[in-house]
Structure 1
Amino acid sequence: MRKESIVSKWKRNVIVLLLGLLLAACSSNKASTSKAGSYSGSVYTVKRGDTLYRISRMTGSSVGALASLNGISAPYTLEIGQKIRVKRSGGSTAKKKTAVAKSAKPRSSSSNTSVAKVAAPPVGARCWRWPASGKIIEPFSSSDGGNKGIDIAGARGQPIYASAAGTVVYVGNQLRGYGNLVMIKHSEDYITAYAHNDTTLVNNGQKVSAGQKIATMGSSGSDLVNLHFQIRYRATALDPQRYLPPQGSRPSC
């Protein structure tokens, strides 16, 4: 019974994180996030990297309204090329709504489904290792729709390591835009994510040690061979470069 309870708790935490990742609208390719999907009247055509949250920000609609209008249920998975109906108000055009959305004040936390931000933990509160070596081709961004981790370039097959000891809580490719994904839970507060893997070398529920090889670098769900790496603290994305030691060195804590 205890084992079943622990597994159920893991699943609940993973679902929360997956929703957070979806709403973050992260992409490993700047080009794919810089181009907006196309409008046709009151219809929006989904492009690569889109999420319902990102579309809601672009169109001035709430996530709940778009989901209800289009019959989309959580976790709000979208297909490239999918047509999303956008409710029109007062005869305004889609272009006008987009302009209003850009100039509008930020919505309150009750009007969208994104995870509430929490205060970031102090640097050095926990030891982290670099999951892979390579050039940072996309840094962290805290802006809406920004990159909620860092993208590390490398060679296909290059090893990827656990940034800290923990338990694997997700191995799969069901989350669109992340390809083969591994997530490790390090405590009740911390989870790390490793995306676009070529191969995965761990299983759900497996205990891993800091620096253990967990996958190899690839381009699944991406246009480039790279590792997309996230550190989440209570489901809020942190800038990994604030907490990682200098590349090539071990943590001193």
Structure 2
Amino acid sequence: MSAGRLKKNGLSIAMLLCVGLLLAGCSGSKSSDTGSYSGSVYTVKRGDTLYRISRATGTSVKEIARLNNISPPYTIEVGQKLKVSGGAKTSSGSGKTTKKSSTKTAAVRPSSSVPQSSWPPVGQRCWLWPASGKVILPYSTADGGNKGIDISAARGTPIYAAGAGKVVYVGNQLRGYGNLIMIKHSEDYITAYAHNDTMLVNNGQNVKAGQKIATMGSTDATTVRLHFQIRYRATAIDPLRYLPPQGSKPKC
């Protein structure tokens, strides 16, 4: 293999690792932070969401919510025992999966690495709504809660860049996000756009605020939606705090 190809592969791996660190909402390598799944019961670990539990157990998000009487925004707590319908391996056969998850998140900064009191002031940057539609899942500060907002609309609804920047990731290697686009706006800010149907930009491309970058879809999601995140110094902050009222332009 040539030196150029080795260098290119190394950069690709490094980029994937960076993306994983930016989007992960959990931390800690202690075994006590690792969830367990046995039979029809799943014990929630730090950083879990219903989407992640759905993938681990083979039970749909809708079914988990129904079995446990959980309503949107689907808040769950560490140590909570959830009923699942099964479909995945039991804890005795999932040791490798647990170990892999623990190793992957050991160096990840938690979503509370920048406390809410130190979030940037409103108006520091001008953000545009990434899509038109209904917010069906708001941001949550709870462990395992939604670290962005989910916007629902018809399949094919345009998705726009919330601000000017450079595309740093286009792909679907991160399970749970489907077709994903990430845009770097500065050393402090990155936005993420998940579950897209079609993606209209490429890695390394510069985009303008309001430029169409994708269309809404349901890749790795139960329904058609856009999962949108604003990351400030790798910490997920509440987009609704910084976006203008829907249908209006920012005043900053």
Specify the alignment match of 1:126 in structure 2: 125
The answer to whether the Cα contact below 8 Å between 1:17 and 1:235 also exists between their aligned partners in 2 is: no
- Percent identity between matched residues is 58
Gap runs ≥5 in structure 1: 26-35, 60-79, 87-110
CA separation in 2, counterparts of 1:189 and 1:13?
A: 17
The alpha-carbon distance between structure 1 residues 148 and 221, as it changes in their structure 2 partners (threshold 3 A), is: same
Specify the alignment match of 1:81 in structure 2: 88
Specify the alignment match of 1:49 in structure 2: 52
Shift of 1:58: 3.6
What pairs up with 1:156-195 in 2 under 5 angstroms? 156-195=155-194
The alpha-carbon distance between structure 1 residues 112 and 212, as it changes in their structure 2 partners (threshold 3 A), is: same
User: If the length of structure 2 is used for normalisation, what is the TM-score?
Assistant: 0.65
The alpha-carbon distance between structure 1 residues 244 and 157, as it changes in their structure 2 partners (threshold 3 A), is: same
CA separation in 2, counterparts of 1:243 and 1:13?
A: 27
Shift of 1:84: 4.6
Specify the alignment match of 2:242 in structure 1: 243
CA separation in 1, counterparts of 2:51 and 2:188?
A: 31
Specify the alignment match of 1:141 in structure 2: 140
The answer to whether the Cα contact below 8 Å between 1:24 and 1:148 also exists between their aligned partners in 2 is: no
Specify the alignment match of 2:196 in structure 1: 197
The answer to whether the Cα contact below 8 Å between 1:14 and 1:169 also exists between their aligned partners in 2 is: no
CA separation in 2, counterparts of 1:242 and 1:12?
A: 32
CA separation in 2, counterparts of 1:139 and 1:232?
A: 15
User: If the length of structure 1 is used for normalisation, what is the TM-score?
Assistant: 0.65
1:88-108 deviations in whole A, cap 9, x for unaligned? xxxxxxxxxxxxxxxxxxxxx
The answer to whether the Cα contact below 8 Å between 1:24 and 1:146 also exists between their aligned partners in 2 is: no
CA separation in 2, counterparts of 1:123 and 1:12?
A: 32
Aligned length: 194
The answer to whether the Cα contact below 8 Å between 1:24 and 1:147 also exists between their aligned partners in 2 is: no
CA separation in 1, counterparts of 2:91 and 2:166?
A: 38
1:113-154 deviations in whole A, cap 9, x for unaligned? 441411211111101000001111000001110000000000
- 3-state SS of the aligned residue for 1:181? strand
CA separation in 1, counterparts of 2:21 and 2:92?
A: 22
The answer to whether the Cα contact below 8 Å between 1:130 and 1:163 also exists between their aligned partners in 2 is: yes
Of 15, 18, 21, 1:19 maps to 21
- 3-state SS of the aligned residue for 1:49? helix
Cα RMSD (Å) = 3.8
1:196-239 deviations in whole A, cap 9, x for unaligned? 00000000000000000000000001011010000000000000
CA separation in 2, counterparts of 1:205 and 1:10?
A: 13
The answer to whether the Cα contact below 8 Å between 1:202 and 1:215 also exists between their aligned partners in 2 is: yes
1:218 aligns with 2:220: no
Shift of 1:10: 9.8
What pairs up with 1:59-70 in 2 under 5 angstroms? none
Gap runs ≥5 in structure 2: 1-6, 28-34, 57-77, 81-86, 94-104
Specify the alignment match of 1:73 in structure 2: none
CA separation in 2, counterparts of 1:15 and 1:196?
A: 20
